[in-house]
Structure 1
Amino acid sequence: MKKFLKWVTGVMVFLTFVVTTFYWFEGEKEVRILCSMFKPGQSTEHVIRTLDTGHHLDYMQENNRISVDSPKTLGSSRCTIEFSEGGEVISSRYSQSLSLNKIAAWIGVFGFLGMGIFQFLLALGYPYGKLAWGGFYEKLPVSLRIGSGIAILIYGYGIIVLLESAQIIQVMNNPELAEYSVWIFAALFALSTIGNLQSNSELEKRIMTPIGILFCYVCIVVGMAG
C-alpha cells in the first residue's frame, strides 16, 4: 500500500508539472499573439478592448504606455505598447526574459550527452551494467553491448531533435519531423521509466528512474512549445 501511494504521489507531482507547463506556454502565446495585433494608429480604447479578451494576462496603463505580461509565465513574457499624446499606438514590442523550452532543450542536450557517454562505456565492456538493461549483468554480453551502441545513435539523434525543436539550430530543416520525434522521445522515456521501476537492480531503480522522468518532462516541455 505504501509503495502504491508513493507511486500515485509521484504521478500526481509529474502531472502537476505538465499542467503548469501547459499554462506557461498558453500565457506566453497569448501575450505574444496579442502584442503582434497592435499596429501604429490604433486607439488606446481598441488596445484595451483587445487586451480584455485575454485569459492569461495582466496589464498596467502608465502615462503613454501599457505594459502587458502573464502571471502564468512569472512575468517573463512582456509586451510594451507605446502611445502618442493623442492616444494612438506608436509601437508594440514583445520581449521574453526566460525561454522555458530552450532551457529544457539544453538540459536535455547535456543529459543525452551524458547518457550517450554512459552507453559508450557499457559498449566498451565497463562493469556498469547494474545501471542499465534491467540490471541483470555487471558487464554486458555482446548482444547488449550492441544495444548500447544503438542507444548512442538514438541519444545523438535526440540531441539534434531537441535543438531543432527549440529553434536553437537548424540541421534537419524539417519542423514536422522534429516535432513528431520529440513526442516519440517523450513516450519512449515514459516507457523506459516504467521499465526502470521493474528492474532487478536497485541502482537502476533509484538512479535511472528519476533520470527517465526528467528526460520525459524535458521532451514534453520542448514539444509543447513547438
Structure 2
Amino acid sequence: MTPTSMTNVAIAASALLLVPIAFQLMLAAGAPWGRAAYGGRVPTTDGQLPLRHRYASLATAAVLLVIGWIVLQRGEVVASSLNPTAVRVACWGFAALFAVNTVGNLAGRHPVERWGMGALTSCLTLLCVLLALG
C-alpha cells in the first residue's frame, strides 16, 4: 500500500470512529438512546442508561479516541514516538476488537445497533486490517 493510501485509510478509520465516540459521549451525557446500546439488554429510565453504564460509555469514548490517535499515527497523519511495529500490532488488535464488536452489534435488539453500528464496526475492522497489512 502506498503512503498516500495508508494516510487515506487512516483518515477514513479515524473519521468513522467519530460516530461511536459521539454516540458514547451522548449516552454518557444522558441521551435517551439506551435501548440502542449494550445489546438493548440494559434496563433504562426514560431511555437513559443507569449511571454505571453511562460511566462505561464515557470510558468507551476515551478508548476509541486513543484508538483513533494510534490509527492516525499508523497512517503517518500525526507524528509518532511509538515503535512502528507496536503500532502495526495494535492495528491487528483493533481489527480483532472491532470484529468481535461487530458480532455483538449484529446480535443487538435495536436496529440502530444491529445495522448501523454493525456496519460501522465491520468497516472499521476492514480498515484496521488494511492498516495492519500496509
SS at match of 2:72: helix
* 2:120 counterpart (202, 211, 214): 211
User: What does residue 31 of structure 1 align with?
Assistant: none
The answer for unaligned runs of 5 or more in structure 2 is none
Shift, 1:126, TM fit: 0.5
Alignment of 1:66-81 (within 5 A): none
Structure (1 or 2) with the larger CA radius of gyration: 1
Give, in whole Å, the separation in 1 of the partners of 2:69 and 2:81: 8
Structure 1: which 4+ aligned runs deviate by more than 6 Å?
A: none
Identity %: 25
User: What does residue 147 of structure 1 align with?
Assistant: 56
Q: Which moved more, 1:126-135 or 1:180-189?
A: 126-135
Give, in whole Å, the separation in 2 of the partners of 1:122 and 1:107: 24
Alignment of 1:27-66 (within 5 A): none
User: What does residue 125 of structure 1 align with?
Assistant: 30
Give, in whole Å, the separation in 2 of the partners of 1:142 and 1:172: 37
SS at match of 2:25: helix
User: What does residue 99 of structure 2 align with?
Assistant: 190
Residue 99 of structure 2 contacts residue 121 of structure 2 at CA under 8 Å; is this kept in 1?
yes
Change (3 A) 1:172 1:134: farther
User: What does residue 102 of structure 1 align with?
Assistant: 7
Residue 119 of structure 1 contacts residue 151 of structure 1 at CA under 8 Å; is this kept in 2?
yes
* 1:174 counterpart (83, 88, 92): 83
TM-score, with normalisation over the residues of structure 2? 0.87
Residue 27 of structure 2 contacts residue 34 of structure 2 at CA under 8 Å; is this kept in 1?
yes
Deviation string for 1:152-197 (max 9, x for gaps)?
A: 1111111111111112212343222211211111001000000111
Give, in whole Å, the separation in 2 of the partners of 1:224 and 1:109: 17
The alignment of Structure 1 onto Structure 2 pairs a total of residues equal to 130
TM-score, with normalisation over the residues of structure 1? 0.54
Structure with the larger strand share: 1
Indicate the RMSD between aligned Cα atoms, in angstroms: 1.7
Deviation string for 1:92-111 (max 9, x for gaps)?
A: xxxx8xx3221111111111
Structure with the larger helix share: 2
SS at match of 2:30: coil
Give, in whole Å, the separation in 1 of the partners of 2:112 and 2:17: 19
* Structure with more relative contact order (C-alpha pairs < 8 Å, separation 6 or more): 2
SS at match of 2:112: helix
